[in-house]
Structure 1
Amino acid sequence: MSEDAPRPLPDGGPPHSPVLRRMAGRGREEEHRAATPLELFFDLCFVVAVAVAGRELVHALAEGHAAHGVLGYLMTFFTIWWAWMNFTWFASAYDTDDVLYRVVTLVQIAGVLILSAGIPRAFDDNDFTVVWFGYLVMRLALVSQWLRAAFSTTGAERRTALKYAAGVCLCQVGWLGLLFLPDGAKPWVFLAMALLEMAVPTFAEMTRQTAWHPHHIAERYGLFTIIVLGETVAAATVAVQSALEESEALDELLPMAAGGLLLIFAAFWIYFAVPIHLHLASNRQAFLWGYGHYIVFGSAAAIGAGIEVAIEQAVGKAHVSTFAASSTVTIPGALFLFSVWLVHSRHYKRGTAQQLVLPVSALAVLACTFAGGNAVLLAGLVAAATVVTGVWLSTRNPPLAEA
């Protein structure tokens, strides 16, 4: 075995948490690689931040401040998603599951909870101080992990780890612009820093790829999709409960609840209809797929926020029109369908008919915006019809299975 080759653990997976072990790259061909309880706990804590961002989006949209709310949501959701991405891909390559690794991961969880606490200030006052500090806690922990990987390895693998550590540190300094520059410049600073952040993995892995595991990465993304959709269900349920306590408008609320549930169920079905791990053969494929999930995750979470706004508008609590309230559900719903097709499902579709199902359905969901108070129900029915159509077409012409 060469010095640059990944070194799988002797038993094919992490042992039962010794105090300290050498942090070498895991094997890409490692069998039975699955998400760990620590990773699941990590994801659940990140959903706290997703819920806070969604709640702030609901408040902004319900008050008619759509531009402010969407911009704030896009910015704060990027910080959540990117921090999750950083840990997920590192853990896929270097999870040792020893005591030190677990402690540092728990520090990262503390950082995301700090970030969550700062999201309302970032939304309302453009004050990113608490968000930046939460990010600092997470990034210091992440850098320590990369430095540990560099210390444990040699050659190109070590250089890759050092590039990651340096890139993360430089980007964290760059985020200081959100604290000291005028409010008008902050969205542009955010855009520039987001692009630099996403360039770090490409730069770091230019000469050697880390030993991320395709099946493990696919499972981690799938689990986070489930958790985000679960948060959407929870948010919609709470909204219906709150509305029922103050209104008896069951004739309006029940169709919305049914439509929202159909939309969420269809989103789950559509996402998990393909074995995407077979597509993740190289960094080029995997990174494009992984980065595209910013839209997939963000739109999935926004569906729940939209359902809340639509329900509040139906009972007279939101200061927006029926058309505007409907669009808060149909736009993220359509965006989810199209983005899942673009980055995820199209790799396994065979023939024009299969390829067109999700894009056409996205347009149909968007058109439901003009259906007035029935928009959410119709969007849910369109999503359900999308699933039925996809299943029928796949039985007639089985989708591709990439090697």
Structure 2
Amino acid sequence: MSDIGQSVDVEAPDDVAVLDDERSRLRDRGDEESSQVSFVELFYDLIFVFAVTQLAGYLVDNITAEGAVRAAILFVAVWWLWINTTWATNRLDPDAAPVRFTMFTLMAASLVLSMALPRAFEDRSFAFAAPYVAMQVGRCLFSADALARNGESAQARTSLRQAVWFAVSGVVWIFGATAEADMRVNLWVLALAIELTAPWLGFPVPGLGREETRDLDVAGEHLSERCGLFIIIALGETLLVTGARAAELEWTATSLGAAATAVASTLAMWWLYFDTGSKRGTRAFEEQHPGHLARVAYTYLHLPIVAGIVLTAVGDKGLIAHPHEPAAWQDAVTILGGPALFLLGNFLFKNATSRRWPLSHLVGIGLLALGVLGLGRLEVLGLALWAVIGLVATAALERLLLRSRAGAEQQIK
């Protein structure tokens, strides 16, 4: 009995010390396991499953030029919130109590923001804009404090510079929330332009200097894995859409064929990203400048990849709902445009990580573009089948070309 009591007394204080130790707010760069994605981060991502679902639902109900612009604004904002939080947790330790509680606070605010998405341009503009600004600025200030506590003053100044820029754009976000819908679009585009331009400029702030990519402290494996998980989130949304819609309908050859086509499209996109692109991106951090690669390939070039998946999910909803209707331009925008945008993003991403232009993706985009000729001739199901053919052909050609290149390099050796 005494031995058991002693073991409890010894272990309990250690657990408390780990949680309360100020230094534990940052990941230990000397520990390989510290760059692993934590359960708290995965828990946080669940909110963005809901956000992606909300965005897809909004676009389904607003397949117009105006609706597309508004959906694009909301999507970029959601992505920018997520990727900047990912940059923060790349350095912060989510298993430390202060960081964990901060993540929980961000989750609560993200849930409010996500619920407001469908009516952000109506009566819930403040419910969207206020949490967004608070999260962007608050996260930067928390990071600056955590870095300063650990003696990393240079990195702390970087977080402070980011906080200043997010505060400036935040004024525009909040002012836009008070404006009429059309003016709100213009102001929120301006706010996003400020935020997306700031990293390229180095977040310059008088008295605090500017940021250089060579000074960025990035754990490439962690960032690569986090972005891969967001791709999984987006692809999971397409499967949820397909399953939910198919379950509501009578099971016929047509409905099951439409569902199978939608699933095939999702599987093909998974293959195109994870077969070679994701692995190559992780290895590229060992060969290229980590800060520059992280900013270009993961912060910016993943935008069209995820957007293409979300747009494809919208197309899948239409496919399941009316597979035998004549394909219209709205169907082409989602069923062909979604995969084309996805391929374009992968084309640019793979070039950034491998320094090569994947010819297969250009062929795939060309095949998808030819599908436009089927408008007025093909049914929605036929158009979707053509999109799957384009994606599968791209994946097959990419694998063939990679094997051919690998064989040629082996002969040279």
TM-score by length of 1: 0.84
Superimposed CA distance per residue, residues 243-275 of structure 1 (whole angstroms, 9 cap, x where no aligned partner): x24xx6x34333332222222111111111132
Alignment of structure 1 residues 275-290 onto 2, 5 Å: 275-280=280-285, 281-289=289-297, 290=299
Superimposed CA distance per residue, residues 368-391 of structure 1 (whole angstroms, 9 cap, x where no aligned partner): 244322010121122112212222
| 2:326 counterpart of 1:303 | no
Alignment of structure 1 residues 205-354 onto 2, 5 Å: 206-207=211-212, 209-242=215-248, 244-245=249-250, 250-272=252-274, 273-274=276-277, 275-280=280-285, 281-289=289-297, 290-314=299-323, 322-344=328-350, 347-348=353-354
The aligned residue for residue 169 of structure 2 is 171
Offset of residue 336 of structure 1 = 0.3
Superimposed CA distance per residue, residues 211-243 of structure 1 (whole angstroms, 9 cap, x where no aligned partner): 22111111110111011101111112212223x
For residues 313 and 93 of structure 2, the distance between their equivalents in structure 1, rounded to whole angstroms, comes to: 33
The aligned residue for residue 359 of structure 1 is 362
Q: Which of 1 and 2 has higher RCO (CA within 8 Å, sep 6+)?
A: 1
Offset of residue 92 of structure 1 = 0.4
CA contact (8 A) 2:40 2:94 kept: no
With over 3 angstroms needed to count, the CA separation of the structure-2 counterparts of 1:42 and 1:17, relative to structure 1, is farther
| 2:131 counterpart of 1:134 | yes
With over 3 angstroms needed to count, the CA separation of the structure-2 counterparts of 1:165 and 1:358, relative to structure 1, is same
For residues 323 and 267 of structure 2, the distance between their equivalents in structure 1, rounded to whole angstroms, comes to: 23
Q: Which residue type is aligned with residue 21 of structure 1?
A: E
With over 3 angstroms needed to count, the CA separation of the structure-2 counterparts of 1:94 and 1:131, relative to structure 1, is same
Q: Which residue type is aligned with residue 42 of structure 1?
A: Y
- SS in structure 2 opposite 1:359? helix
Unpaired segments ≥5 residues, structure 1: 1-14
> RMSD of the TM alignment (CA)?
2.7
CA contact (8 A) 2:235 2:270 kept: yes
- Select the structure that is richer in helix: 2
For residues 346 and 150 of structure 1, the distance between their equivalents in structure 2, rounded to whole angstroms, comes to: 30
| 2:51 counterpart of 1:49 | yes
For residues 27 and 18 of structure 1, the distance between their equivalents in structure 2, rounded to whole angstroms, comes to: 15
With over 3 angstroms needed to count, the CA separation of the structure-2 counterparts of 1:25 and 1:18, relative to structure 1, is closer
Q: Which residue type is aligned with residue 267 of structure 1?
A: M
For residues 77 and 22 of structure 1, the distance between their equivalents in structure 2, rounded to whole angstroms, comes to: 35
In terms of mean alpha carbon deviation, does 289-298 or 19-28 score higher?
A: 19-28
The aligned residue for residue 8 of structure 1 is none
With over 3 angstroms needed to count, the CA separation of the structure-2 counterparts of 1:76 and 1:91, relative to structure 1, is same
Q: Detail structure 1 runs of 4+ shifted over 6 Å in the superposition.
A: none
Unpaired segments ≥5 residues, structure 2: 1-15, 204-209
Offset of residue 180 of structure 1 = 2.4
- SS in structure 2 opposite 1:97? coil
Q: Which residue type is aligned with residue 363 of structure 1?
A: G
Q: Identity, % of aligned pairs? A: 24
For residues 385 and 53 of structure 2, the distance between their equivalents in structure 1, rounded to whole angstroms, comes to: 24
- SS in structure 2 opposite 1:22? helix
